[in-house]
Amino acid sequence: MKTETTNYNVIDEIEESPQILSRRQLMWRKFKRNKLGVIGGIVVILFYLMVIFGGFISPYTLEQKDYSHITAPPRMIHIFDEDGLTAPFVYGYKASMDPETLQRMYELDKNQKCYIDFLHKGEEYKFMGLFKTNLHLFGVNEGQIYLLGTDENGGDLLTHIILGGRVSLSISLLGPLISLIIGSILGTVSGYVGGVVDNIIQRVIEFFKSFPRIPLWLTLAAALPAHWSSLRIYIGIVVILAFLGWTGLARMVRGKIMSLREEDFVAAAVASGSTGWWIVRKHLIPNAMSQLIVSATLSIPSMILGEASLSFLGLGIRAPMTSWGVLLQEAQNVRSIALHPWLFTPALFIIVAILVFNFLGDGLRDAADPFSS
């Protein structure tokens, strides 16, 4: 009887003992408590899924133009008609010319119902760049389905936004990645070696930071040869945007490494005969990795803005490529926005992308220090 009581007491003590969590588990628990960070992460994932499967999701291709429906307004999806509930459809367009402004006007043509065909077979494209297919998520067999309207060349704006997001969002990843590599290497060397090497690297950083960012971006982008292919221009824009992005990251890494090298575990590694490269690779970089990821995430919005600004001014991505900044070129003046406000839709995607990346970065920054209140 006494033995059973003792066993029960041991079990109760085990059940009541505090749960031991790793640093990664603590970071994940704290990140989940940040609602905006979680929402930002979900929306970011949805953005990248949208552009990865963009050819399938979009009803048309970039090459398809409808010159009979230039700057046509958006159309809503309807599931009710005069007879009640029905299959999803959009109304057709009835085009006319304004006798005073000579602008093309569009009205709903309720006599033309364009029923939406899911898993529609339309124009052929390369699925994820791997194989050719003509299967789209949705489309119409007769008429048109321009849910966000068309641009000044008769292209479907929804298609251009989805496929243009591939360029904008990929640049926003590649730019910070290059900055992360350069900043991590130089910051680590500067913080761990110190002395003359540290002074040289810091003076180089100050030299680069002394240039105003936007004018330097414009100058470098304007220097790209006009005869370059779209792929070369794309790579050039990535390099230009990453050109100044590494300086702040390098200083952050330097400060973190300088604080870590004074820790006891680093002194123990040195006393045991470990080489400097082994200490950096096994101790310093892993302990600074969370701050590196946070800094890289928080730099993504500036990359998105940088690409959009250069492309908007005609110094960035060029045809046949498209991006959110290129699409905004058609909304450069007040008159265009007043007559065709849907041309400003790419700006909304840019705004949302910047907000959700900032939400995600703030959530990761808080989670990187799970012991703070």
Per-residue pLDDT of the chain (373 residues; tens, 9 = 90+): 445 555 545 455 444 556 676 767 777 888 888 899 999 999 999 999 999 999 999 999 988 898 888 888 999 998 988 888 888 999 888 888 777 776 788 888 888 888 999 999 989 988 887 889 999 999 998 888 999 999 888 889 999 999 999 988 998 888 888 888 898 889 888 888 888 998 999 999 888 888 787 777 778 777 778 778 777 888 888 888 887 788 888 888 888 888 888 788 878 888 887 777 888 887 788 778 777 888 888 888 888 888 888 888 777 787 778 889 888 887 777 777 888 889 889 999 999 999 999 999 888 888 877 666 5
Give the containing element (helix H, strand E) for 240: helix 230-243
Same domain, 140 and 284: no
* Euclidean distance between CA atoms 321 and 164, whole angstroms: 8
Same domain, 252 and 269: yes
Domain ranges, residue 266: 44-51+161-367
Q: Is 194 exposed, middle or buried (0-12, 13-18, 19+ CB in 10 A)?
A: middle
Q: Give pLDDT, residue 10.
A: 47
Same domain, 363 and 229: yes
In a domain, 356, yes or no: yes
In a domain, 115, yes or no: yes
Instruction: Give the single-character DSSP code of 223.
Output: T
The pair of three-digit structure tokens given for residue 298, joined into one six-digit string: 């928080």
Domain boundary among 119, 154, 189: 154
Beta-bridged to residue 81, according to DSSP, are 84
Q: Give pLDDT, residue 1.
A: 46
In a domain, 15, yes or no: no
Same domain, 130 and 230: no
* Euclidean distance between CA atoms 233 and 322, whole angstroms: 12
Compute the half-sphere exposure of residue 207: CA atoms within 13 Å on the CB side of its CA: 6
Q: Give pLDDT, residue 320.
A: 76
Q: Please give the biggest Cα pair distance in the chain.
A: 102
In a domain, 3, yes or no: no
- DSSP string covering 245-298: THHHHHHHHHHHHHHHTTSHHHHHHHHTT--HHHHIIIIIHHHHHHHHHHHHHH
In a domain, 188, yes or no: yes
The pair of three-digit structure tokens given for residue 202, joined into one six-digit string: 């810091």
In a domain, 25, yes or no: no
Same domain, 270 and 315: yes
Domain boundary among 154, 189, 218: 154
In a domain, 72, yes or no: yes
Please tell me the total count of domains within the chain.
Answer: 2
Do 322 and 62 form a contact (C-beta atoms < 8 A)? yes
Same domain, 199 and 124: no
Domain boundary among 123, 139, 154: 154
Same domain, 248 and 105: no
In a domain, 34, yes or no: no
Same domain, 228 and 91: no
Domain CATH for 285: 1.10.3720.10
| Beta-sheet pairing, 84-97 with 104-127 | antiparallel
Coil vs helix vs strand at 120: strand
Q: Give pLDDT, residue 284.
A: 82
Q: Give pLDDT, residue 12.
A: 52
Same domain, 165 and 275: yes
Same domain, 131 and 192: no
Phi, psi values for residue 194, rounded to 5°: 70, -165
Same domain, 267 and 201: yes
Same domain, 189 and 249: yes
